[in-house]
Structure 1
Amino acid sequence: MIHRRFLLAAGGALPMAAHAQAPWQPTRPLRMIVPFVAGGSTDVAARLVSDAMGEKLGQPVIVENRSGSGGNIGGEMVARAPADGHTLLMGVTGLLTTNPHIYRTMSFSPSRDLAPVGMCYTSDLVIVVPLSLPARNLAEFIALAKARPGEISFGSSGHGASTHTAAELFRIAAGIDLQHVPYRGSGGAMNDLIAGNIQMIMIQIAGAAGAVRDGRLRALAVTGPHRHALMPDVPTFAELGLPQATATSWGAVMTTAGTPAPAIARLSEVLREAIASPTIAQRMAGAGVDPQSSTPEELATFLVSESEKWGRVVREARITVE
């Protein structure tokens, strides 16, 4: 029930915003906190929308990378910032809807201390395996895993990251036993996969497209509801009879809880305008993410649904972080 606070944070702001006499304007530069290192798709998306938002707001939106603790360090910075609309967070699946179920203790609550502004992007994942693995398709991979329970390992970008929890969702849906090997980012996992040190990873499509195209890895299935333009020949889980394993990672802009309604309304409006730009959409696609916008209340409803979904996976897979 605690995650329904997202709904209160978004819905409570709307009546006030409707009566605002003039659009809210920032009085100084804004910060956009990215809770991961620079260079990844989340960072690229944040920089694209920050530049566009800054132009529309008349103040620059400066991106700051504050990584660590599965995104919790960056999230706490925004949760503890003044509630004046000048500090934003590019939140992701793990930080906003999975970490509260995984971490035994957190110094802040995403649902209590952060307020929704709007969706930014979605990103499908893909299962990839080394060419040395005797599994040419998903059915053969599942059969191999069932024949060798606990012997096949999969890597992820970190304990509790979407690349971990999405793989656990697949493992549960397929009824197989796999060994998790967490890495500090997807780069190390990819290198070990190509070398044959691990047998599978589930990674954002853009991160694996080159290796699949070059024939260094084999793609078995994409996690999204539809085939992806970067891998049009790779089927979805639904096509392969595992619709319950469908999953998408995503990024959403949040701000500090208690931020005045007019500020949230203006930030959300500017964010949606930025995402609607054909130039930004094209650049996001180049980074392997698909632009996705929403109102604050739509995002709040989505966050509740995602929290419930990943909470079930965390409990069934018994994922915990001290």
Structure 2
Amino acid sequence: MPIDGTITRRALLRAATCTAMSALAGPGLAEAAYPSRSVTWVLPFAVGGATGRLARPICERLSSRLGQPFIPENRPGAGGNVGTKSVVDAAPDGYTILATSTANAINVTFDPSLPFDAAHDLIHVATLARTPLLLLVSNELPVKTLAEFLAYAKANPGKLSVGSAGPGTVQHLSAELFRAMAGLEWTHVHYRGSGPGLVDLSSGHVHAMFDNIASSLELLQGGKIRALAVTTRDPSKLMPDLPPIWTVLPGFETSGFYGAAVPRGTPQEIVDLLNHEINLAIADPAIRKAFDEIGAIPITCSARDCGGVFAAEIVRWRQLIALSRASSNG
């Protein structure tokens, strides 16, 4: 059967139009289809921490909105550095996202030997939330208030063991700042994330721990551990009866910071898309409710401003680390 000339002309016109669109789109054409497959959202701490509690509902929302699975994957180790390094080394194509936290800002100062720089090797695409930490104690410790804890620690120098989610984490540095400012002596025990440390706290293997409400809430509600105070200057809306540590140690204030980042070199179109969709997710009432349930304070920013927000967090923790060291030496 002969080919119809009209169809041929239409086909040629269609082809010419597609060629023109491709020329106009240029290098960004490939990114326009993002995401075309599953995306891995790396959680650099053990299961059960605030990082996962904040990221998982956002992954569900992105999966629904963008039509491809956004899969949270725990890669714990070295205070978050194992998971962070895996994202730094990943292809800059938007298919590997890092759940960032205060640990990333701390380590720029705390561990200058790291083979990467989270401020320069990553593009910070979104902020998620800020969370207060709690001073937690084992039920076996004979204290029920912040004042009693301080008195007991001072009366028993070197006898307390205090857990953390790993060296250089906000939990570790909060404990160190508290110890230094109060003039205490204790043994620090590092874990591969909050979960394992809280298990040991609830069983009495360590005496105290600084950690997020999100990680510890289930154990607190079950009466397995006790909370004595919050690390923010203002009380937590979720636990308004807990006093801020500031009231007995003026100048003490720490909090957890959470965001999202991708490898340096990721196309701006993808950065802008992720920023837009994550900000929309945080505005969703269901996600706001999930944040409220763990005491998280939602924060958002534009793609352009995210790097500056992270830079400010680095400065903040550099000052706190210096204060901690000065208090120890004084």
In which range does the TM-score fall when normalised by the shorter chain?
A: 0.7 to 0.9
Alpha-carbon shift at residue 261 of structure 1 (Å): 2.5
Q: Secondary structure of the residue that 2:119 maps to in structure 1?
A: helix
Give the C-alpha shift of residue 168 in structure 1. 1.1
Which position in structure 2 is the counterpart of 1:48?
57
Contact kept in structure 1, 2:107 and 2:168, CA below 8 Å: yes
Query: Structure 1: how far apart are the matches of 2:80 and 2:224?
Result: 31
Q: 1:62 to 1:172 in 2, by over 3 A?
A: same
TM-score (norm 2): 0.78
Task: Evaluate the alpha carbon distance shift between residue 102 and residue 63 of structure 1 in structure 2; reply closer, same or farther with a 3 A threshold.
Answer: same
DSSP-derived class of the 1:301 partner? helix
Q: Are the counterparts in 1 of residues 49 and 194 from structure 2 also a CA contact under 8 Å?
A: no
| Alignment match of 1:138 (pick from 131, 146, 163) | 146
Match of 1:7 in 2: none
CA distance in 1, matches of 2:67, 2:230: 40
Query: Does 2:252 align with 1:245?
Result: yes
1:166 matched to 2:174? The reply is yes
TM-score by length of 1: 0.80
Q: Is the 8 A contact 1:114 1:256 kept in 2?
A: yes
Partner of 2:288: 281
Partner of 1:86: 95
CA contact (8 A) 1:26 1:59 kept: no
Identity of aligned residues (%): 33
For residue 226 of structure 2, give the secondary structure of its aligned residue in structure 1. Answer: strand
Q: Is the 8 A contact 2:97 2:262 kept in 1?
A: yes
Measured at CA, do residues 190 and 267 of structure 1 come closer, stay the same or move farther in structure 2, by a change above 3 Å? closer
The C-alpha deviation readout for 1:229-259, integer Å capped at 9, x for no partner, is: 4322111123x14352211112201111122
Match of 2:86 among 77, 81, 84: 77
Q: Distance in 2 between matches of 1:82 and 1:210?
A: 37
When the two structures are aligned, how many residues end up with a matched partner?
Answer: 296
Q: Cα gap change, 1:66/1:213 in structure 2, threshold over 3 Å: closer, same or farther?
A: closer
1:78·1:255 contact (CA, 8 Å) conserved in 2?
yes
Aligned Cα root-mean-square deviation (Å): 2.8
Q: Which has the higher Rg, Structure 1 or Structure 2?
A: 2
Cα 1:206/1:39, change in 2 over 3 Å: closer
Instruction: Flag the 1:131–1:78 CA change in 2: closer, same or farther, 3 A.
Output: closer
111-120 or 54-63: bigger deviation: 54-63
For structure 2, the 5+ residue unaligned runs are: 1-27
Gaps of 5+ in 1: 1-19
Conserved 8 A contact 1:99-1:160: yes
Specify which of 130, 135, 141 is matched with residue 127 of structure 1.
135
- Cα displacement (A) at 1:135: 3.2
